[in-house]
């Protein structure tokens, strides 16, 4: 079977299409025939070597976190799925490996694919959807009548986060570049700010939650946008930011929280339900496995709106 691997850190030129044996499964695992895999910013941070503290430096390594596919075979202890089921799920972000014809996955890392979305859309959902859900439920506790600012609202997480915040009854301000102004309103944003025309640091409004998905807004800058008892959520965990957040939260009413994605079966179930109820999953580009280097290069250099995915034959 085909699988994308790399044997040194670097840019997209390190990615190789290799021939491997189909994995064998443990009794609590399923063998999945992969249909589509999404491209995440985390992928190039890992193969670029930026996260080697977390990923380790042992090669060869594999690429691809979230995926959709069809159950080919189930281990003896698997109870929730059967051969032929269409599923979506995710692998350990730092080990990767979804970009392969077949993968072995634990049943806790999967959910049935909602029937109303394509395999391409389903592959685009686990990382972004579970991240958005964790931000809404645990980190920012977004609820009715709160003022929520989402910085980077046309990205993978942003598209979903705007819709989830709106569904929870919040008043949503979406920060986007010009290409996303119309779409952000369609997903439910009450106010849309084009950051190429209006720097958000100069906004007069104060928010209950400032969610930065762009990685460009510091906590110091965000504080000026926050009410006295508000929350700032960022998405790049590092020992320094986690320590700073811990110290800040001890003394200040303005809290600082950092996303570290922790998938749960409940999270998967909620995501599938929200999708069946009409959550919009927005796809940008669809690539084939043979163009894997170009796919990652193009998406890393700048992209449209929503998620790009790679399809397997
Ligand atoms: N810690 C974790 O567990 C975890 C889990 C998942 C993701 N993440 C991280 O979370 C971040 C967001 O993920 P994603 O999938 O949503 O990424 P993404 O699809 O690349 O979205 C990032 C968004 O930021 C916007 N942006 C860029 N510069 C901006 C600026 N100056 N002001 C406002 N917006 C700006 C981009 O919009 P334009 O293209 O219009 O500029 C884009 O829509 C990534 O860094 C990812 O690595 C972390």
Give the pLDDT of residue 54.
86
pLDDT tens figures, 32-82:
999 999 999 999 999 999 989 889 999 999 999 999 999 999 999 999 999
pLDDT tens figures, 223-254:
999 999 999 999 999 889 999 999 999 999 99
- For tokens 């998620």, what's the residue? 307
Same fold, 2-125+281-311 and 128-258: no
Cβ proximity of 258 and 237 under 8 Å: yes
Q: Domain locations in the chain? A: 2-125+281-311, 128-258
Q: Using CA positions, which residue lies closest to atom 29 of ligand 1?
A: 214
Q: Can you list the pairs that 217-221 forms with residues at least 24 positions away whose Cβ atoms lie under 8 Å? A: 217/151, 219/244, 219/248, 219/256
> Which residue out of 38, 39, 40, 41 has the highest number of ligand 1 atoms within 8 Å of its CB and is therefore the one to mutate?
41
How would you classify the pairing of strands 283-288 and 307-311? parallel
Q: Is residue 276 over pLDDT 80?
A: yes
Mean pLDDT of 280-300: 96
Q: Using CA positions, which residue lies closest to atom 11 of ligand 1?
A: 213
Q: Using CA positions, which residue lies closest to atom 41 of ligand 1?
A: 177
Homologous superfamily of domain range 2-125+281-311: Medium-chain alcohol dehydrogenases, catalytic domain (3.90.180.10)
CB neighbours of 206 closer than 8 A, spacing ≥ 6?
A: 147, 225, 226, 227, 230
User: Which residues are near ligand 1 (CB < 6 Å)?
Assistant: 40-42, 127-128, 131, 151-152, 154-158, 175-177, 180, 195, 213-216, 235, 237, 259-261
Mean pLDDT of the chain: 97
Angle at the Cα of 46 (from 149 to 152), degrees rounded to 5? 15
Mean pLDDT of 284-312: 95
- CATH code of 128-258, in short, is 3.40.50.720
Question: pTM of this prediction?
Answer: 0.97
Separation CA 43–CA 38 (nearest Å)? 10
């Amino acid at each position: 079977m085909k699988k994308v691997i790399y044997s040194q850190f670097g840019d997209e030129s390190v990615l190789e299409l290799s021939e491997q044996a189909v994995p064998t499964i443990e009794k609590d695992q399923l063998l999945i025939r992969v249909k589509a895999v999404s491209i995440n910013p985390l992928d190039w941070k890992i193969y670029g070597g930026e996260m080697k503290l977390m990923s380790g430096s042992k090669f060869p390594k594999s690429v691809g976190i979230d995926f959709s596919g069809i159950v080919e075979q189930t281990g003896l202890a698997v109870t929730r799925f059967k051969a032929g089921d269409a599923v979506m799920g995710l692998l350990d972000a730092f080990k990767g490996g979804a970009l392969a014809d077949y993968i072995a996955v634990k049943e806790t890392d999967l959910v049935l694919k909602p029937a109303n979305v394509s395999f391409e859309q389903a592959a685009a959902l686990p990382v972004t959807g579970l991240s958005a859900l964790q931000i809404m439920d645990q980190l920012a506790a977004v609820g009715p009548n709160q003022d929520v600012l989402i910085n980077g609202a046309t990205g993978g997480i942003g598209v979903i986060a705007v819709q989830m915040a709106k569904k929870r009854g919040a008043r949503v301000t979406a920060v986007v570049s010009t290409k996303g102004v119309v779409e952000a309103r369609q997903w439910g944003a009450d106010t849309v700010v084009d950051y190429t025309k209006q720097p958000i640091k100069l906004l007069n409004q104060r928010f209950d939650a400032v969610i930065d998905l762009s990685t460009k807004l510091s906590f110091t800058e965000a504080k000026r946008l926050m009410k006295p008892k508000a929350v700032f959520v960022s998405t790049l965990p590092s020992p320094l930011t986690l320590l700073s957040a811990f110290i800040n939260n001890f003394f200040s009413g303005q809290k600082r929280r950092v996303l570290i994605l922790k998938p749960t079966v409940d999270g998967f179930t909620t995501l599938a339900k929200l999708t069946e109820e009409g959550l919009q999953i927005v796809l940008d580009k669809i690539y084939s496995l043979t163009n894997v280097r170009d796919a990652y290069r193009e998406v890393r250099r700048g992209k449209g709106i929503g998620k790009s995915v790679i399809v397997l034959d």
